[in-house]
Amino acid sequence: MQTGITQAPFGQLPDGRAITQFTLTNARGMVAKVIDYGGVITELHAPDRDGNLADVVLGFDTLEPYTADSPYFGALIGRFGNRIGQGRFTLDGQSYQLPVNNGRNHLHGGPDGFDRVKWEATVDGANLRLSYRSPDGEMGYPGNLDATVVYTLTDDDELVVSFHAVTDKATPVNLTQHSYFNLAGDGDILGHVLTIDADAFVAIDAGSIPTGELTPVTGTPFDFRMPRPIGERIGQPDKQLRHGGGYDHNFALNKPPGKAMTRAARVCEPVSGRVLELWTEEPGVQFYSGNFLDGSLAGKGRTYQHRSGFCLEPQHFPDSPNQPHFPNAILRPGQVYQTESRFRFLVEPDA
């Protein structure tokens, strides 16, 4: 078995630029595949309790669907992950209008966000480094932003995602990774058992924009402080579930002061025994239960039906530029945006 990073062609963009797929393999046989278009994780093969590998992320076999209507499968998200209400914000007295691509709102950096650009890739040992300069005014954002993302697959079965960015003008920055997971490798995710280390979540309106409130999870379908199946309460008559079409909410993580690396969430798929833990320095995590998947997309031998994947997106809070009491998401010249998240794969023994 070859460990380290290898590369192979993965198609061409319409303008002729070649896209490369990088395969990261660790000493235990776990495999992650990443392309330099959108920094997309196209495959992630993790072992079950018997040592059998399965691809546990949703995605496609070829480049074309990623450039078409992919719902951010596996992609890097920027400049701003999640929604900004009406695509508007005011910064240092100046108003900015971003393109809207989610009803009346701006989502995941706009229609041509970081998920739809070619990143410059370099390999440094076990590290895949992706870099992109977002020019001043791109998708309406101020300032030239130089972003770097490093993927590392460790021999402890952790996929580490490290983000770094600097700017020459104050700008909102909220970078994240948007893989859809299915730890069984197929079927729906309603039987996956979820824990989220959060006492509160960000309430949203009917357009999925934060109301500004942090709502305690106690007594709600959003209480995942103890392990609960994702599907156990997803159909309850709850206003927040109606607004999101299921779970599509940012959880305010229980964290000590500062930028500590803490566990945000744990998901177990009982049949295979596969476990995913998300550890992050971010203050929040968006839990999304695949509500808008409808069977119209297919790839890698699967059809992506309703709720056939879930997302755990480590991030700052949605609409932060318009919510001054949320954690600050403005990067200024001279500052360094630096954050790391770890997707840790484990197995539970058979009960």
Contact 30/21 with Cβ under 8 angstroms?
no
Helix (H) or strand (E) holding 10: strand 4-12
Distance between start and end Cα atoms, the chain:
31
Contact 176/315 with Cβ under 8 angstroms?
yes
3 state SS for 35-92: ECECCCEEEEEEECCCCCEEECECCCCCCHHHHCCCCCCCEEECCECCEEHHHEEEEC
Contact 34/122 with Cβ under 8 angstroms?
no
Strands 171-172 and 337-347: unpaired
Distance (Å, whole) CA 187 – CA 202: 29
178 is catalytic: yes
Out of 269, 277, 313, 340, which one is annotated catalytic?
Answer: 313
CA neighbor of 193 nearest in space, from 273, 279, 267, 289 = 267
313 is catalytic: yes
**Cα dihedral 182, 196, 336, 115 in deg (nearest 10):** 30
Distance (Å, whole) CA 182 – CA 267: 10
Please tell me what DSSP assigns to residue 157: S
Distance (Å, whole) CA 190 – CA 286: 17
What is the phi/psi pair of residue 66, to 5°? -70, -30
Out of 178, 243, 249, 316, which one is annotated catalytic?
Answer: 178
Distance (Å, whole) CA 243 – CA 233: 15
Q: Name 326's Cβ contacts closer than 8 Å, sequence gap at least 6.
A: 210, 316, 317, 319, 320
CA neighbor of 192 nearest in space, from 290, 76, 281 = 290
**Residues with catalytic annotation?**
178, 313
